[in-house]
């Protein structure tokens, strides 16, 4: 009788892992299922399960693949995931290593959107009665959008053209991808605590997946609780996002939002010019009336008395002329100094000023990179300077000790 060999646990797990790794089908799988047990680790890795009516499979989505996620994952979302099935040797756990994931059809996104709309409508988020009016003369406007790209430039250009003295306070946030909704909500909360009169919140146009952050409940709740009027300016013409429905005012584009928020002071200048002309006309008429009265008095009195009266009236007329000229000069000088001061304050708030002092922004595509732990060696980046951009590539990556230890623990768990 041949004795059955005895193996260690490690040997069995290694053997099973090898068998799974050699299976062609398991190396390139597409799995349809519903997301559950969703958890995003501080390292950037995402852990979740895919389930159907009778079974589930554990999944891991590593940070480098999670970054390019177009639609944020959450429990209950139906998706199609691509990747490989393998064994995690240490725990003897069979799991699915996800490389790409997308919603199970755009129809599923629309269904989720309608479900969210119904829930928020029932809570009164869209009621016209709670919409706040826009201020008539805002001194400071807040902006929530990406710090790079055309949106902030369009808003600054239109606002400055309409009123050079208005202050613009940018609170940057990602407007697409995983975690964008939370950043937008946090930026709205922060601006609501600043001394701003109105807030513009938006981005450029895109597909339903691109705009999904503005359909998240986190953004709707932040707009709803904001004590400052909010103008939603997601750059699309036909479909309304949940942010559009919740905001106090909806603009089709960021440029239109700036026009709604900032009154055109050129009209006020015209009114000031008109009032000045009317004042000058009344003064001239007053002088002409006094001159006629002086002539009448000259004909009625004797020469000596007439001469004294004439001199007195002449002095009165001269005094009125001097006072008018002095007042006109003071008004012109005060207006000039005010506009020059406001122009200098506005230039100091220019978002490009930091770049001119030697700073630069790092970008991955259209996204702003804020931390070294979100990078990996060999990754191409763009550095934004005051006079253009430069393409670079990450050659080395050194993290703080605490962040590095967290990543090593996660990689050991995921067995990569």
The CATH number given to whatever domain includes residue 221 is 3.40.50.2300
> Quick one: tokens of 289?
């009336």
Same domain as 326, residue 219: no
**Distance spanning both ends of the chain, measured CA to CA:** 42
Same domain as 238, residue 162: yes
Residue partners of 67: CB distance under 8 A and separation at least 6: 44, 177, 178, 364, 374
Count Cβ atoms within 10 A of the Cβ of residue 33 and give its class: 0-12 exposed, 13-18 middle, 19 or more buried.
Answer: buried
Question: In the listed set 261, 278, 305, which residue is the last one of a domain according to the structure?
Answer: 261
Same domain as 305, residue 189: no
3-state secondary structure of 382: strand
Report if residue 4 sits inside a domain.
no
Report if residue 2 sits inside a domain.
no
Report if residue 3 sits inside a domain.
no
Closest C-alpha among 298, 135, 325, 116 to residue 230: 135
Question: In the listed set 348, 368, 399, which residue is the last one of a domain according to the structure?
Answer: 348
Same domain as 93, residue 158: no
> Quick one: tokens of 332?
């012109």
Structure confidence at residue 193 (pLDDT): 93
Residues 371 and 394: their CA atoms lie apart, in Å, by 13
Instruction: Identify the helix (H) or strand (E) that includes residue 187.
Output: helix 180-192
Structure confidence at residue 200 (pLDDT): 97
Structure confidence at residue 363 (pLDDT): 82
Report if residue 397 sits inside a domain.
yes
Same domain as 333, residue 214: no
Sheet-wide strand order for 388-393: 367-368, 361-364, 380-385, 388-393
Structure confidence at residue 222 (pLDDT): 96
Per the CB < 8 A criterion, the answer to whether 187 and 149 are in contact is: no
Same domain as 163, residue 121: yes
The CATH number given to whatever domain includes residue 66 is 2.40.50.140
Same domain as 286, residue 322: yes
Same domain as 32, residue 152: no
Report if residue 150 sits inside a domain.
yes
Q: Beta-carbon neighbour count of residue 391 at 10 Å?
A: 8
Domain extent at residue 391? 354-414
Same domain as 246, residue 286: no
Identify any residues that bridge with 380 across adjacent strands, giving them in sequence order: 393
Question: In the listed set 292, 316, 348, which residue is the last one of a domain according to the structure?
Answer: 348
Same domain as 133, residue 184: yes
Residues 278 and 293: their CA atoms lie apart, in Å, by 23
**Running DSSP on this structure, what letter comes out for residue 130?**
G
**Running DSSP on this structure, what letter comes out for residue 373?**
G
Structure confidence at residue 408 (pLDDT): 60
Structure confidence at residue 307 (pLDDT): 65
Same domain as 199, residue 162: yes
Report if residue 280 sits inside a domain.
yes
3-state secondary structure of 103: strand
Report if residue 184 sits inside a domain.
yes
Structure confidence at residue 182 (pLDDT): 94
One pLDDT digit (tens) per residue for the chain, 416 residues: 677 788 888 888 888 888 888 888 898 899 999 899 999 998 889 999 999 888 999 999 998 888 767 667 888 888 889 999 999 888 888 999 999 888 776 666 777 788 889 999 999 999 999 999 999 889 999 999 999 888 999 999 999 999 988 999 999 999 988 889 999 999 999 999 999 999 999 998 877 778 889 999 999 999 999 999 999 998 765 668 999 999 999 998 999 999 999 998 876 666 677 777 778 878 888 888 888 887 777 666 555 555 666 567 667 777 777 887 888 788 878 777 777 777 666 666 665 666 777 778 788 877 778 788 888 888 898 888 878 888 888 888 887 766 566 666 666 666 55
HSE value, Cβ hemisphere, 13 Å, CA-based, for 314: 7
Strands (E), 330-393: 361-364, 367-368, 380-385, 388-393
Total domains present in the chain: 4
Same domain as 245, residue 115: yes
Structure confidence at residue 347 (pLDDT): 64
Report if residue 161 sits inside a domain.
yes
Q: Beta-carbon neighbour count of residue 237 at 10 Å?
A: 7
Strands (E), 268-354: none
């Amino acid at each position: 009788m041949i004795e059955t060999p005895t193996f260690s646990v490690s040997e069995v797990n290694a053997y099973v892992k090898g068998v799974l790794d050699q299976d062609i089908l398991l190396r390139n799988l597409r799995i349809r299922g519903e997301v559950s047990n969703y958890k995003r680790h501080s390292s950037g890795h995402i852990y979740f399960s895919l389930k159907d009516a009778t079974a589930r499979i554990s999944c891991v989505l590593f940070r480098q693949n999670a970054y390019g996620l177009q639609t944020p994952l959450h429990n209950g979302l139906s998706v199609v995931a691509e990747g490989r099935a393998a064994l995690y040797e240490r725990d003897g756990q069979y799991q699915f290593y996800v490389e790409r994931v997308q919603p199970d059809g755009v129809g599923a996104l629309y269904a989720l959107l309608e479900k969210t709309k119904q829930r928020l409508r029932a809570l009164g988020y869209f009621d016209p009665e709670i919409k706040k009016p826009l201020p008539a003369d805002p001194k400071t406007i807040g902006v929530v959008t990406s710090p790079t790209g055309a949106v902030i430039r369009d808003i600054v250009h239109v606002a400055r053209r309409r009123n050079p003295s208005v202050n613009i306070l940018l609170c940057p946030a990602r407007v697409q991808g995983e975690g964008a909704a939370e950043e937008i909500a946090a930026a709205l909360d922060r601006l609501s605590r600043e001394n701003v009169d109105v807030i513009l919140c938006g981005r450029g146009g895109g597909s339903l997946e691109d705009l999904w952050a503005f359909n998240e409940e986190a953004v709707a709740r932040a707009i709803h609780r904001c004590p400052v009027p909010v103008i939603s300016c997601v750059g699309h013409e036909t479909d309304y996002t949940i942010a559009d429905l919740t905001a106090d005012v909806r603009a089709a584009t960021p440029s239109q939002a700036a026009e709604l928020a900032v009154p055109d002071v050129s009209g006020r200048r015209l009114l000031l010019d008109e009032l000045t002309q009317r004042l000058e006309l009344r003064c001239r008429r007053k002088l002409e009336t006094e001159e006629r009265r002086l002539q009448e008095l000259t004909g009625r009195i004797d020469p000596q008395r007439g001469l004294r009266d004439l001199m007195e009236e002449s002095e009165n007329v001269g005094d009125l002329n001097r006072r008018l000229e002095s007042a006109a000069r003071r008004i012109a000088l005060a207006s000039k100094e005010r506009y020059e001061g406001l122009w200098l304050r506005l230039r100091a708030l220019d978002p490009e000023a930091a770049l001119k002092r030697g700073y630069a922004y790092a970008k991955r595509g259209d996204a702003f990179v804020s931390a070294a732990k979100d990078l990996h060696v060999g990754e191409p980046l763009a550095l934004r300077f005051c006079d253009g951009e430069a393409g670079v590539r990450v050659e080395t990556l050194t993290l703080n000790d605490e962040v590095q230890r967290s990543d090593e623990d996660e990689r050991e768990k995921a067995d990569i």
